[in-house]
Structure 1
Amino acid sequence: MILAYHRINPWYRDDALSVNPEIFESHIKFLLEKGFKPVSLYDYLDEKVSDKKFCITFDDGFADNYFFAFPILTKYNIKATIFLIAHFIGTEKIYQKYTDREKDRYLQWKEIHEMIKSGIDFGSHSLTHPDLTTLDKKQLWDEIFDSKRFLQKNIGRKINFFCYPYGRQNEKIRQTVKNAGYLGAVVTNWKGKYDSYCLPRIGIYGHNSFFAFRIKIWLEKIRGR
């Protein structure tokens, strides 16, 4: 199973996208105690890996992933994947309205490179986080391919996975992702057919109780994903 988080911080208790660090760690401890093995997104695609496996992913690339999630991931030796909005790295651009710029800034390159050294992987979440279904052919290619090229140039390693902004995608978009050279793509709340370019994820949010988290895990296990 693939878990989808956004932000890990103690600040925004009423923000659905923010999960408290202590709660985030309790999720990981629960999965490990139940015998689930943490794997990278790349290894998740390997059918030889045990079915009882889980991946951790983060969308958007907020700096709190570095300050709060990264130490916990390192503690449990988990190789998570963070999906970056390429043109937001090192900036205070936000596509949602927050008030505290320092708390809400995006990752900087030096933080990204430090995490890479510890086994954290990075994928593309597009250039600017648009709704891809509203774009023409050229705009779509720019968001998908140019973000890959930009990230690869600055990170110094191949970008293998894509995350659809807002989870919105269709057959044309999936084919564009494939043509751009990605190995796969992740999606949340998708009720259609799953494949390498539509890998299902469980969305984990700040308002989810621990009981709700366990139910989500249980349901995903029943589905066999």
Structure 2
Amino acid sequence: MYHSVADRTDDPYQVTVSPGRLERQLGWLRRRGLAGVSMAQLLRARAEGRGARLVGLTFDDGYADFNEAAVPLLHRYGFTATVYVLPGRLGGENEWDSPGPRKSLLTEDGIRLAAEAGMEVGSHGLRHIDLTAADDETLAAETARSRALLQDITGTEVTGFCYPYGTVDERVIGAVRDAGYTYAVGIDPGPLTGLFALPRIHVGENDTDLRLHLKWRLHRWRRQPVPYAAPYEPERARP
């Protein structure tokens, strides 16, 4: 789980990794025979029994620096990733991180560029709010409306959702399923862990080779394992 890729200045929420550090981390994966892929690729491979050496790379919030700094490095290593974006804040800033440095978010054109570069585009909701505190109307917009907007922008089906702040409950999971997504990622969803609440490991500027090794090895003990499940397919209306 990454966020912004840029030279670090003030970073109280530890959401920024420098391009140099990201390159070293991608190199660490390559040296161990691991390949970084999007979450959609990882889940397809896992369903086919061939996901053992794949690592899902995700970038939350849809920062503009994803195209500028992350994509060239991913291409250099032959990797892909998923970027979770906010269609309700196109070209805006990360106003939810206050206090903290302001970072530009992807525009509509930027989202298209990410998709054209071979990256998976997923939804992070509309405006980055805690969905567990949202009323039913807002929750429907943050899930279903954001998916519709992104599909209009990219011209492709959007299958992945990322819970803002990692907060999730059964009601929110139900809304994500009903909106037509096939999977969703969280951070540490505990007993809710599953295809619609996949756990992730935060990776930041301080993660050296040794720290990455420890996180990789300890992940299975720190996070509840995800049992195999075929990708969810929404029920289709009969003609």
Whether TM exceeds 0.5 here: the answer is: yes
Change (3 A) 1:44 1:93: closer
* Structure 2 Cα separation of the partners of residues 161 and 216 of structure 1: 24
Higher strand share: 1
Matched, 1:30 2:31: no
Report the 3-state secondary structure (helix = DSSP H, G, I; strand = E; otherwise coil) of the residue aligned with 1:192: helix
The aligned residue for residue 19 of structure 1 is 17
Q: Which amino acid aligns with 1:10?
A: D
Report the 3-state secondary structure (helix = DSSP H, G, I; strand = E; otherwise coil) of the residue aligned with 2:200: strand
Q: Which amino acid aligns with 1:12?
A: T
Partner residue of 2:5 out of 8, 28, 33: 8
User: Aligned ranges for residues 122-137 of structure 1 at < 5 Å?
Assistant: 122-137=121-136
| 2:10–2:101 CA contact under 8 A, matched in 1 | no
1:206 Cα deviation from its structure 2 partner: 3.0
Q: Which amino acid aligns with 2:58?
A: T
Change (3 A) 1:169 1:53: same
* Structure 1 Cα separation of the partners of residues 207 and 94 of structure 2: 27
Q: Which runs of 5+ in 2 are unaligned?
A: 227-239
| 1:14–1:206 CA contact under 8 A, matched in 2 | no
Q: Which amino acid aligns with 2:15?
A: L
1:193 Cα deviation from its structure 2 partner: 4.1
| 1:13–1:206 CA contact under 8 A, matched in 2 | no
Pairs aligned (count):
220
| 1:9–1:21 CA contact under 8 A, matched in 2 | yes
| 2:184–2:197 CA contact under 8 A, matched in 1 | yes
Q: Which amino acid aligns with 1:40?
A: S
* Structure 2 Cα separation of the partners of residues 138 and 111 of structure 1: 28
Q: Which amino acid aligns with 2:138?
A: Q
| 1:62–1:105 CA contact under 8 A, matched in 2 | yes
| 2:40–2:120 CA contact under 8 A, matched in 1 | no
The aligned residue for residue 85 of structure 1 is 86
| 1:14–1:207 CA contact under 8 A, matched in 2 | no
Report the 3-state secondary structure (helix = DSSP H, G, I; strand = E; otherwise coil) of the residue aligned with 2:186: strand
Q: Which runs of 5+ in 1 are unaligned?
A: none
Q: Which amino acid aligns with 2:26?
A: I
Q: CA RMSD in A?
A: 2.0
The aligned residue for residue 170 of structure 1 is 169
The aligned residue for residue 53 of structure 1 is 54
Q: Which amino acid aligns with 1:217?
A: W
Segments ≥4 residues shifted beyond 4 Å: 98-101, 221-225
User: What TM-score, normalized to structure 2?
Assistant: 0.84
Report the 3-state secondary structure (helix = DSSP H, G, I; strand = E; otherwise coil) of the residue aligned with 1:122: strand
